[in-house]
Amino acid sequence: MTVRAFLSLAPSRALALAALLAVAWPGSARAYRTSQDSLFNQRNGITGPVAFEPLPVRYTLFRGPSALALADVERATREAFLTWTRPSCSALEIEGGGFAGTAAIYGDDRNVVEWVEDGTWRARGFSGFTIGVTTNQLLRVGDRWTFDESDMELNADDFRWVIDGGTGEADPVDVQGLVVHEAGHFVGLLHTCEPSAQDGAPACASGGEPETMWPRYTGENQRTLEPDDVAGICFLYPAPGCATEGCPPGQRCVMDACVPEDAGLPSRDAGTPTDAGARVVDGGVQRDAGPAPEERGGCGCRVGRRAAHPGWLALLALLLLRRRRL
């Protein structure tokens, strides 16, 4: 199974649409979300925490923006990934970051980060307003789901990238800030909210404080993690033993993971869908199955099928009959 997450934005490129979204995003969003919170996943038997195992997660880089020194790109990307390993309540380990000769190819069991700068971004089925796309390959192992592969594709056809000094208008884009967000998807987190509350997500707050896993790029401030992000990564990759060993000062034990005192109690129940026809996901593998959610100014996921792994055949007939878009 393939899950794809998009990050888009460029208010300078779509001012009228951005103004519309400022009015259309009511409510609040202060809780992490993972694959098991997706209503689509729940309907299709994807249950429980979905994470990489065994650790560490290893990735390579393939091609950086040509205007930047490769050493700087490698350093900023590595720092972005390591940001997710630093909470003391998490056991997540990530290694790699060097350049290799392998592009992002779905289904090759390699975790790859690639800047697309050869004029093929739209040919890959992505909108010119989309800055980054992360694709997760899910694998069923026994009675649980894990990540078999994650690939990150970044748009250098339509956006200029810098090591420092990126702006919230995505002109230019900050390498570290953008990759921190996409790395959250890479290891299993969803957006904390969605513009129209798609797939059981809360609606993004109008005028709310942007967060790391906010579905729109907001600049360098996405380099750091919020309490929700810490709670989410520690839920997916918990450090062992806090139920018996306790937590350091300023943290408390939630679901056998230490989280900050002000992180709140996460809800693991995404609710029961009552409007299944209103929230749909593309159930096929083609990339051009209609306009992507990001063309409406938000971000979203697409789910496709990957028949090469055990456990997928049980869902194949269902997904062929139900073509949906988040």
Q: Give the three-class secondary structure for 255.
A: coil
What is the model's pLDDT at position 274? 32
Of 34-43, 146-155, 230-239, 254-263, least confident by mean pLDDT is: 254-263
The chain-wide mean pLDDT, for the chain, equals 75
Smallest CA-to-CA distance from 94 within 126, 55, 50 is with 55
Give the start-to-end residue ranges of the domains of the chain. 2-239+271-321
What is the model's pLDDT at position 20? 24
- Using CB atoms within 10 Å of the CB of residue 7, give its burial: 0 to 12 exposed, 13 to 18 middle, 19+ buried: buried
Q: Which residue has the higher pLDDT, 4 or 204?
A: 204
Average pLDDT of span 293-312: 33
Is domain 2-239+271-321 in CATH 3.40.390.10, yes or no? yes
Q: Distance (Å, rounded) from C-alpha 214 to C-alpha 211?
A: 5
Which pTM value belongs to this model? 0.70
With contact defined as beta carbons under 8 Å apart, do 197 and 56 qualify? no
- Give per-residue pLDDT as tens, 224-283: 999 999 999 999 999 886 666 678 788 888 766 678 887 655 443 333 333 333 322 222
Q: Distance (Å, rounded) from C-alpha 180 to C-alpha 76?
A: 10
What is the model's pLDDT at position 68? 97
What is the model's pLDDT at position 153? 98
Q: How confident is residue 143, by pLDDT bands cut at 50, 70 and 90? A: confident
For residue 33, is pLDDT > 60? yes
Based on C-alpha coordinates, what's the Rg of the chain? 19
With contact defined as beta carbons under 8 Å apart, do 89 and 251 qualify? yes
Give the range with max mean pLDDT: 58-62, 199-203, 237-241: 58-62
Average pLDDT of span 187-191: 96
Residue with tokens 């098991």: 36
What is the model's pLDDT at position 124? 94
Q: How confident is residue 1, by pLDDT bands cut at 50, 70 and 90? A: low
